[in-house]
């Protein structure tokens, strides 16, 4: 049976921390679907199509990855894609409580889909998409935290 995992998120924008999780997850599963959603309480900086473009560009060298858009309940999407697992990144302790509750709810909705937690490389545990946008908007150097393609897109967007 093919092992399929979904890595869901807004990825607004994708960071090197996300990429670290993606690369490692792609080694654990036959197929990794990066599922991009617009359903968030936060206002997006990039459109969903821009985010999908950035993710596709920075992951193009990884052959077992697909980038897709989804909306609605993650477990419904996972079932539709015949996924075995959902991948979630844990950066700091405060992430754990939220992710644990979400994993338990997902498990109650579909017991055959497991949640796999991965921690990013230590050099990325303090970064988030929100922090990247804030630092960039204030003129800070984000080059260590996002791929060059993403940094270029952020700079273009800031100047629009």
Check residue 148 and give its pLDDT: 96
- Report pLDDT digits (tens) over 42-80: 789 999 999 999 999 999 999 999 999 999 999 999 999
Is residue 60 annotated as part of the catalytic site, yes or no? Answer: no
The pTM score is 0.94
91 is catalytic: yes
d(CA 67, CA 56): 6
Map out the domains of the chain with their CATH numbers.
Answer: 4-158 (3.40.50.620)
Q: For position 40, what pLDDT does the model report?
A: 65
Question: Catalytic pick from 51, 129, 133, 153?
Answer: 129
Give the number of other CB atoms < 10 A from CB of residue 127.
20
Note the pLDDT tens digit of each residue in 132-149: 999 999 999 999 999 999
Tell me how far apart the alpha carbons of residues 149 and 21 are, in angstroms, rounded to a whole number.
Answer: 18
Selecting among 18, 88, 133, 153, the annotated active-site residue is 18
Q: Is cis: bond before 13, omega within 30 of 0? A: yes
Q: What is the mean pLDDT of the chain?
A: 94
Q: What percent of the chain lies above the pLDDT cut of 90?
A: 87
Q: Which residue of the set 24, 66, 79, 91 is catalytic?
A: 91
Whether residue 18 lies in the annotated active site: yes
Q: Which one of the listed residues 42, 101, 123, 126 is annotated catalytic?
A: 42
Q: What is the DSSP letter of 25?
A: H
């Amino acid at each position: 049976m093919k092992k399929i995992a979904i890595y869901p998120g807004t990825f607004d924008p994708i960071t090197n921390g996300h990429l670290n999780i993606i690369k490692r997850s792609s080694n654990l599963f036959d197929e990794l679907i990066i599922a991009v959603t617009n359903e968030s309480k936060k206002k997006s900086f990039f459109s969903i199509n821009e985010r999908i473009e950035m993710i596709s560009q920075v992951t193009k060298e990884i052959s077992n990855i697909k980038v897709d858009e989804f909306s609605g309940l993650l477990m419904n999407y996972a079932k539709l894609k015949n996924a075995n697992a959902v991948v979630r990144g844990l950066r700091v302790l405060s992430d754990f409580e939220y992710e644990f509750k979400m994993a338990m709810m997902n498990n109650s909705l579909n017991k055959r889909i497991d949640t796999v937690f991965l921690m990013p490389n230590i050099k990325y545990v303090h970064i988030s998409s929100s922090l990247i946008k804030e630092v960039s908007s204030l003129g800070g150097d984000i080059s260590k935290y996002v791929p060059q393609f993403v940094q270029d897109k952020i700079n273009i967007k800031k100047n629009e």
